[in-house]
């Protein structure tokens, strides 16, 4: 085998690689993009489902506490009823937005919902 034949073979190999390499890389890149998009979509779905479930759970828990505090079941928490919870008693004045001396469900929800969750 002389030098020219080797060079010709090398050149042919390089041309072959040059021709095929970009195609393969594009194919791989497309597959990765598709896989990444699917993963992102799945993660968003999971996050949305978890977020909804947590919000419902928090709201139910909050309602359950409200009902437990509302001893006379008139749908508001009086200052006496708030006394059952140290934290609620401390924040009662600021929580009573319309200052009627009672916390209704909306006023109660407003102080029980962390600011980050308010939308
Ligand atoms: Ca009450
Ligand atoms: Ca009130």
Residue 11 located in a structural domain: no
Rounded distance from Cα 79 to ligand 1 centre (Å): 9
- Tally the domains of the chain: 1
Specify whether the CB–CB gap between 110 and 97 falls below 8 A.
yes
Give the model's pLDDT for residue 50: 85
pTM: 0.54
Instruction: Compare 27 and 109 and report the one with higher pLDDT.
Output: 109
53 C-alpha to center of ligand 2: Å? Answer: 29
Answer whether residue 107 is part of any domain.
yes
Ligand of minimum distance to the alpha carbon of 72: 1
CATH number of the domain that 80 lies in? Answer: 1.10.238.10
Query: What pLDDT is stored for residue 112 in this prediction?
Result: 82
Range of the structural domain that residue 62 is part of: 30-117
Query: How far, in Å, from the CA of 72 to the mean position of ligand 2?
Result: 16
Looking at the CA of 101, name the nearest ligand.
2
């Amino acid at each position: 085998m002389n030098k020219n034949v080797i060079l010709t073979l090398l050149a042919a190999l390089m041309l072959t690689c040059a021709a095929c390499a970009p195609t393969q890389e594009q194919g791989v890149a497309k597959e990765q993009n598709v896989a990444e998009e699917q993963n992102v979509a799945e993660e968003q779905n999971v996050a949305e489902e978890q977020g909804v479930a947590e919000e419902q759970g928090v709201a139910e828990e909050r309602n359950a506490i409200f009902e437990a505090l509302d001893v006379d079941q008139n749908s508001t928490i009086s200052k006496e009823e708030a006394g059952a919870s140290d934290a609620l008693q401390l924040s009662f004045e600021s929580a009573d937005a319309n200052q009627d001396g009672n916390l209704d469900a909306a006023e109660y929800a407003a102080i029980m919902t962390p600011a980050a969750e308010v939308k």
